[in-house]
Structure 1
Amino acid sequence: MPLLRIATYNIHKGVQGLGPTRRLEIHNLGHAVEQLDADIVCLQEVRKLHRREERYFTRWPELPQAEFLCPEGYFPVYQTNAKTKHGEHGNALLSRWPIVSQGHEDMSDHRFEQRGLLHVQVQVGRRTVHVLSIHLGLIAASRLRQIEQIGAYIQREIPRTAPVVVAGDFNDWGAKLRQTMNKLGLQDFVGERANTFPSRLPLTQLDFVYARGMKPSGLEVPRGRIWWRMSDHLPLIAEFKL
């Protein structure tokens, strides 16, 4: 029974700090993604481009962040969610396994937050695994509507017998969405402490990996100074038996 290792990580657009004290962390994040040693890495707040930051930082990568962070031998997928005055950002997925297809759906609940769902089919041996990389809204009512939208999307776009993973930054303080996700047939690791936010002193879990058609095997949150310096979130790694 193959073991599938899935990570989710909000990288805060590769920059930490505010104003003139902000620092570029994208190069350190590149090493960090390799250290995760995950088969699939779901990333949120990934820059495709940002003209102002490109001028400010002398070592700003020439490649879009999803491609820059992609370890050798992996396949990158990126989809823009938000377009701003200086650039655009969204969700990404990096896969050790071949990509079969990719899709996207707008999940913006109101005009102040641009959100989206990235759907990637990954060929894991003889099985096709459907992975949804998401970043839900900051308002509780929005998140509930977005979960309903995810459920409708899965019912419409994914075969009933296919393995499904929904991973990302749920912005779910207190795991209030867990019951709703369970009703959709998606389970996570209940009972295991996996605080991911804020990274310096993690008090709560905002990042989750839910799955259908796979057996949970383990959960891990890397900790330490090298991790809390790179983003305001810590990565979450979940292992499943297919």
Structure 2
Amino acid sequence: MSGFLADHAGVEIRVSPNFNPRRGTDRPDTIILHYTGMPTAKAAESWLCDPVSEVSSHYLVHEDGAIVQMVRESDRAWHAGKSSWRGVSDINSWSVGIEIVNPGHEFGYPEFPDRQIEAVIALCQGICGRHGIVPERILAHSDVAPGRKVDPGEKFPWKRLATANVGHFVEPVPIGDGPALKNGDRGRLVEELQSMLELYGYGVEITGIFDASTEIVVAAFQRHFRPARIDGVADASTVETLRRLLSSLHISFAQV
């Protein structure tokens, strides 16, 4: 059982067979937050431990705040699937995966309970402390797999996490009227938008053409950082929120 958190830390151990060694690193630098997207917590926990599923996570956080560890942090859990961030495609090797019990968009998508979020915060703080993970490397599944995944979704309280130094957040710029970039547009402004998204970490090709893949990435960005309206249209609110995020990391667009 070496490598698992002690029971007295409030963590239950239920080992999943779905893991293998990390590739290219011996420690994670990223945390990926998911929701389970299944009707019940019991079903989700069983699925993550079923060898037939070929999926797992390092941790599962129940609605009441109870935490189950399934894979050692030193090992590679199978949680992210086809994904990328800052040019890295093997996200599983570089991350700790946390599944948060919530039935998701297909099953009503309720609010995340306070006790659950408190447990997620404490868990992330411990992981970050052990591995030196910085706030901007705490990401949504939808960030690393735009279009394919939407979890943990627009109801997830990223601002609340950020007040505890868990995750990167700036107050979204209010939505207003004005010009916006959308599917079919092309030119310098589209290229700048794609460059800023890529600089932040999203997997987007810099072409100067606002195509369907760019729209999907913009929607993923909005779901995390500007959830008031998720439409894949890069309005001024979306673009300026992105610019503020980069600025808060002391990255100016002039560096692109």
- Structure-1-length-normalised TM-score: 0.30
- Structure number with bigger Rg: 2
Give the strand-richer structure, 1 or 2: 1
Higher RCO (C-alpha under 8 Å, 6+ residues apart): 1
